[in-house]
């Protein structure tokens, strides 16, 4: 199902639907050596800004570099933890508040590897992938996000 | 030789273009100096420089034909 | 959506379907103060046993005590982490290999709280809830599981 | 007074019943002694005792009318 050393696209146009997540989970029912899945989902918040409320985030990326980096991160995490599967999806374009913009999914025989790998992936994705989110405020202004 | 520089996020918005051309000044710190002169509106902004999809140090040489990009702080996820 | 201090049923008869998980995720789209969801899923493994392979786990529980304990754990984790939501589901009865038997779902404004709370919940659920899994082997024998 | 004892998992399988009645011996360690005599097949098995849905210590008294249960090691999840 999963092969190492094959760069894969992580980008999804628009939000990531709960159905996509359900299908991704269901696809692992045939992998009967898996005992635990860990999933992280990033959801767009309706934060308050000067003069308005965030209604969506518009994501752009330096796609070639992001895919190259995602591949490096993927390889590093696969070699650090005994994982069966790993999936990363990130939105591009507009994602409204309440919608999902990031989906990280790890699976392993025992739970610890999946949980630790998922957390490490989320941190590295946020810190290392050249992706930018522009918060669109409901008074027609916008604010570039910055990960801390 | 002329470099084509890709620009992203807030920097792209400030200089109002997705890419531009500039004479290769040789290394990263020389490039930054040149950019600060050419685009005063980004002098106060934070950005990193990538050469061929890897983050570059100030001392790093820029090979002719390299893919160079200006990257404001990331905010994925 | 979520209220503290309301004991709730955590038990589901048979496996937990991916559609149930998708619906649970979709139900949070209206909670626009959430920035991150963390999910853990336990899946039944086809482990090798003396003379056969596990084909399912049959779960039983001391239900009244498990619900009381789950409530205590829930309260403790809610007071330790700034969570928006928390959901726990565990299967009873037979769950086949490849199917989901545990679904833990935490949501918070910032990702760290959701991830840490989810991990803590999983550990406490496994250690403290009076639930028993009997591995059904395909040669008609069975083995009582024991969490380590 | 007579206690009704709930039994779960492997213990229930070994003694082939889901619950049984026993004269209240007063506290947890006395109960364990009595169980070991009455059910030699569980002498080697690990189990905890719950009184009214809480795990009990060996010295703990068993109130009449309490809900007592024998719990083999948990294996949920």
Residue C71 counted as domain residue: yes
* DSSP letter, residue C19: H
Residues whose CB is less than 8 angstroms from the CB of residue D76 and which lie 6 or more positions away in sequence, other chains included: C59, C61, C66, C90, C102, C125, C126, C129, C130, C131, C132, C133, C147
C133 and D50 in contact by Cβ < 8 A?
no
Rounded Cα gap, residues D31 and D59, in angstroms = 11
What element of type H or E holds A103?
strand A100-108
CB C74 within 8 A of CB C124: no
Handedness of CA C94, C126, C141, A31 (dihedral sign): positive
Taking only the tens place, the pLDDT of each residue in C56-90 is 999 999 999 999 999 999 999 999 999 999 999 99
Residue C59 counted as domain residue: yes
D77 and C68 in contact by Cβ < 8 A?
no
Residue A85 counted as domain residue: yes
Residue A134's CATH number: 3.90.1170.40
pLDDT at position A2 is: 52
pLDDT band at C4; cut points 50, 70, 90 = low
Residue C117 counted as domain residue: yes
Which of A23, A38, A48 to mutate to test binding with chain C, by most C CBs within 10 Å of its CB?
A: A38
pLDDT at position B1 is: 87
Handedness of CA C19, C24, C30, C32 (dihedral sign): negative
Taking 70 as the threshold, does the pLDDT of residue A1 lie above it?
no
* DSSP letter, residue D26: S
Residue A24 counted as domain residue: no
In terms of residue numbers, what domain contains C66? Answer: 11-19+34-144
Residue A106 counted as domain residue: yes
Rounded Cα gap, residues C17 and C91, in angstroms = 11
Rounded Cα gap, residues A56 and A39, in angstroms = 23
pLDDT at position A3 is: 54
Taking only the tens place, the pLDDT of each residue in D13-64 is 999 999 999 999 999 999 999 999 999 999 999 999 999 999 999 999 999 9
- The CATH superfamily of B2-65 is Beta-grasp domain (3.10.20.30)
**What number of residues does chain B have?**
77
In chain B, DSSP assigns E strands to 2-7, 19-23, 48-51, 54-55, 68-71
Other chains touching A, judged by 3 or more CB pairs under 8 Å: B, C
Taking only the tens place, the pLDDT of each residue in A29-48 is 999 999 999 999 999 999 99
The mean predicted confidence, pLDDT, of chain C is 95
Taking 80 as the threshold, does the pLDDT of residue C6 lie above it?
no
CB B43 within 8 A of CB A116: no
pLDDT band at C146; cut points 50, 70, 90 = confident
Show me where the domains of chain D are located.
Answer: 2-65
Q: What is the DSSP string of A18-72?
A: HHHHHHHHHTTTT-TT--EEEEEEEE----EETTEEEEEEEEEE-HHHHHHHHHH
C115 and A40 in contact by Cβ < 8 A?
yes
ipTM score: 0.95
Smallest Cα distance from B77 to chain A, Å: 5
The mean predicted confidence, pLDDT, of chain A is 95
Number of domains in chain A: 1
| Cβ-Cβ contacts under 8 Å, C102 against chain D | 76-77
Residue C85 counted as domain residue: yes
| Closest CB to D77 among C65, C134, C147 | C147
pLDDT band at C5; cut points 50, 70, 90 = low
Higher model confidence: residue C7 or residue D76?
D76
C37 and A21 in contact by Cβ < 8 A?
no
Residues whose CB is less than 8 angstroms from the CB of residue D72 and which lie 6 or more positions away in sequence, other chains included: C132, C144, D8, D9, D10, D11, D45, D46, D47
- Whole-prediction pTM value? 0.95
Residues whose CB is less than 8 angstroms from the CB of residue C10 and which lie 6 or more positions away in sequence, other chains included: C66, C67, C70, C88, C89, C90
Q: Which of D65, D64, D76, D30 is nearest to D49 (CA)?
A: D30
Contacts 24+ apart (CB under 8 A), C2-5: C2/C84, C2/C85, C2/C86, C4/C75, C4/C78, C5/C75
Q: What is the mean pLDDT of residues B57-74?
A: 96
């Amino acid at each position: 199902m999963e092969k190492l050393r094959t760069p894969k696209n992580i980008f999804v146009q628009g939000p990531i639907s709960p159905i996509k997540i359900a299908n991704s989970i269901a696809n692992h029912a045939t992998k009967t050596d898996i005992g635990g899945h860990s999933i992280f989902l990033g959801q767009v918040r309706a934060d308050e800004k000067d003069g308005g409320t965030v209604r969506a985030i518009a994501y752009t990326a330096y796609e070639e570099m992001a895919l190259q980096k995602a591949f490096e991160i993927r390889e590093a995490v696969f070699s650090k933890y005994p994982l069966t599967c790993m999936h990363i999806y990130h939105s591009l374009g507009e994602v409204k508040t309440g919608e999902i913009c990031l989906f990280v999914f790890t699976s392993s025989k025992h739970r610890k590897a999946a949980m630790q790998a998922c957390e490490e992936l989320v941190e590295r994705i946020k810190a290392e992938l050249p992706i930018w989110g522009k918060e669109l405020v409901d008074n027609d202004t916008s604010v570039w996000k910055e990960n801390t | 030789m002329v470099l084509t520089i890709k620009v992203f996020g807030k920097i792209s918005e400030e200089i109002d273009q997705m890419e531009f051309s500039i004479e290769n000044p040789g290394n990263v710190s020389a490039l930054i100096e040149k950019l600060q002169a050419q685009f005063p509106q980004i002098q106060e902004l934070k950005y990193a420089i990538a050469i061929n999809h890897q983050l570059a140090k100030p001392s790093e040489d820029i090979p002719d034909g390299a893919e160079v990009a200006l990257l404001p702080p990331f905010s994925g996820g």
